[in-house]
Structure 1
Amino acid sequence: MNLETVENLIHHEPGVLLYFWGEHCNVCHALQPKLFEAFDQNFPKIEKIAIDVGEHADIAAHFGVFSIPTAIVFLGGKEFARVSRNVSIPALVERIERPYSILLS
């Protein structure tokens, strides 16, 4: 995983979820499977990528990620949603449903 690969996915996939997490973040470990499951069920065309900020600080810096967990959703190559720290999965799903159905259905 490198920045070029991530940028390539963002610009060539219809939708991308970047999930920034840390090895010693218990919330990050608990949230990721629930978030990815919600996206699998509701947004099957969105590519999901988990990025460990300890291993890929350059990618986190490029996207302006300063706290974890952080989830950034790109639709059509553009950043559409960003949530950090206190992530509400139902609120994020609700926020993405309409544009996802318009852009990717």
Structure 2
Amino acid sequence: MADAKKILCHACGQANRVPGDRLGAGPKCGTCGAPLVAGKVAELDLPTLQKSVRTDDLPLLVDYWAPWCGPCRMMAPEFAKAAQQLAPDIRLAKIDTQAHPQASARFNIRGIPALILFRNGREVARLAGARPAADIVAFARQHVAA
């Protein structure tokens, strides 16, 4: 497993090692059995987000949103479409800034919706405002390839 990828299970918080060539085969968490790269958006809390940013070998694109935000609600289905298109190379997650206000402070979020792309434990790029799926996919691929 020389090319194994560390991936945090967003359901139980357990780190998993997955062979790089098996990412597209629907790997599951060894602890809870949840899919690791299912092409769906994971709803995270701040501790899980921070652990995923530190642990994951795959890039993680996070949507900072709130239930009262109209543009956030409009972008949610587009973000879900982008998750399907970017799997298994990039995982997508979202965090509710109303339920987790400390996430806004921790990541210096000034307006929502806001997207932050993390790779190798660092913020790679940031994008503000509601976007269609095509723009989200292009943004993620552009910055992962760089």
Band of TM-score, shorter chain: 0.7 to 0.9
Deviation at 1:89, TM superposition (A): 4.4
Q: Which has the higher contact order (CA 8 A, sep 6+)?
A: 1
**TM-score normalised per structure 1:** 0.79
Q: Which residues in structure 2 correspond to 1:7-26 (within 5 Å)?
A: 7-13=50-56, 14-26=58-70
Alignment of 1:1-105 (within 5 A): 1-13=44-56, 14-87=58-131, 89-100=133-144
User: Where does the alignment leave 5 or more consecutive residues of structure 2 unmatched?
Assistant: 1-43
Q: CA RMSD in A?
A: 2.2
The structure where helix makes up a greater share of residues is 1
How many angstroms does 1:93 deviate by?
2.5
Aligned sequence identity (%): 25
Structure-1 separation of matches of 2:109 and 2:141: 24
> In the comparison of the two structures, how many residue pairs are matched?
102
Q: Could you tell me whether the CA contact under 8 Å between 1:43 and 1:100 is conserved in 2?
A: no
1:69 Cα deviation (Å)?
A: 0.4
CA contact (8 A) 1:18 1:72 kept: yes
Contact 1:15-1:77 within 8 A present in 2 as well: no
Give the TM-score taking structure 2 as reference length.
Answer: 0.59
Q: Which moved more, 1:42-51 or 1:26-35?
A: 42-51
